[in-house]
Amino acid sequence: MRRSGRWLAGLLALLLLSCNLSSTPGPLLTTSTPSASAVTPIPTPTASLAPPPTATPVADTGWEQLQIGLERRWLRLLAPDSGRLQEQIYLLRLQP
């Protein structure tokens, strides 16, 4: 019985020693704090100034404001063969 105990203890010791041996060394664990240059700073958001919005020019649609809520448009119709003025049309539009 004593012989099997030594044999088992030797096997256990060999097993424990072989666990610590490796072909490539593992990473070294250090307890020191990293240097200031190794610390990546976290960017803080800064307020950026946006340019003020500019007024978009209103496209000319051909309507002329006569009064508030009343607009007029004047169309000139030309003859297709001669290009001379054939007709004039006045349109009135009411805005609610």
Give the model confidence (pLDDT) of 67-81 as tens digits.
Answer: 999 999 999 999 989
The total number of structural domains in the chain stands at: 1
Asked if the structure places residue 91 within a domain, the reply is yes
- Mean pLDDT, rounded, of the chain: 78
Whether the full predicted model's pTM is greater than 0.95, yes or no, is: no
4 falls within a domain:
no
pLDDT reported for residue 66: 92
In 1-96 the beta strands, taken as DSSP E runs, fall at 64-67, 70-78, 85-94
- 39 falls within a domain: no
52 is a domain residue: no
Q: Is residue 87 part of a domain?
A: yes
Q: 27-49 pLDDT, tens per residue?
A: 666 666 666 566 777 877 777 77
What range does the domain containing 93 cover? 62-96
| 82: in domain | yes
Q: Does residue 13 form part of some domain?
A: no
Starting at the edge strand that comes first in sequence, how are the strands of the sheet with 64-67 ordered?
Answer: 64-67, 70-78, 85-94
Which amino acid belongs to residue 96?
A: P
